Amino acid sequence: MKHRIQKGALVLAGGAIQGLGMGLFLFPHFIPSGGAGGIAVLFNYLFHINMGPALWMVNFSMLVIAVKYLGKRFALWTIIGITMTSLSIDFFESHFFILNRNLVYDLVIGSVLLGTGIGLLMRQGVSNGGVGVIAFMVALGRDILPGKPLFLINCSIFFLTGAIISWKIILLAFISQWISTTVVDLICRMSFQASYTLDFRKKP
């Protein structure tokens, strides 16, 4: 029970930190936080769907694909994480506003927070949802850290986002992904053998 409470607290914290980086620093500049974030940005740009609900829908649809491979327990914890992220995004977008924004500061701070949140989730064996689920499956299958597959998958989506909205977004998204996935690997490496590899070899 103590382990579950601790894990739940870290999952909620990871989701909230990830949502803080996205909602307060990255999304105001239309910088995709990742593949799912890129699709959510497109939904927001094309259909004016709020970022929080759009991101949740994308994340949930991706998660359904991976339930069979990763197990129901993984899916449940990931749903908790992505729900917390979406609620956090809505909260920070609605209640906080930064005057005199600086693109470079927002890019760096948002990316570090994003990577920290994702790293906390993955250390607990929880994906950040979206294409992170696919990256998680690749990382488990090849017994590697999740940062590299996450980076490659996300960047392919950025080209589509940039083609529709602005090519400037591609450069910003690449920088954001480099920073955030580097942070993800740093955090995952701290307890890679203890929590990342062993927790998910067996489905419940």
pLDDT(200) > 50: no
pLDDT at 120 over 70: yes
Instruction: Tell me what the mean pLDDT of segment 171-194 comes to.
Output: 80
Q: Rg for the chain (alpha carbons), in Å?
A: 16
Note the helical H segments in 124-199: 131-142, 147-164, 168-190
Tell me the whole-structure pTM to 2 decimals. 0.75
> How many distinct helices (H) and strands (E) make up the chain?
8, 0
Report how far residue 165's alpha carbon sits from residue 46's, in angstroms, rounded to the nearest whole number: 9
What pLDDT band is residue 201 in, cutting at 50, 70 and 90?
A: very low
Report the 10 Å Cβ neighbour count for 157: 21
4-13, 92-101, 114-123, 137-146: least confidently modelled range = 137-146
Per-residue model confidence as pLDDT tens digits over 125-159: 787 767 777 777 787 778 887 777 877 887 788 78
Residue 188 reports pLDDT greater than 90: no
Mean pLDDT (the chain) is 81
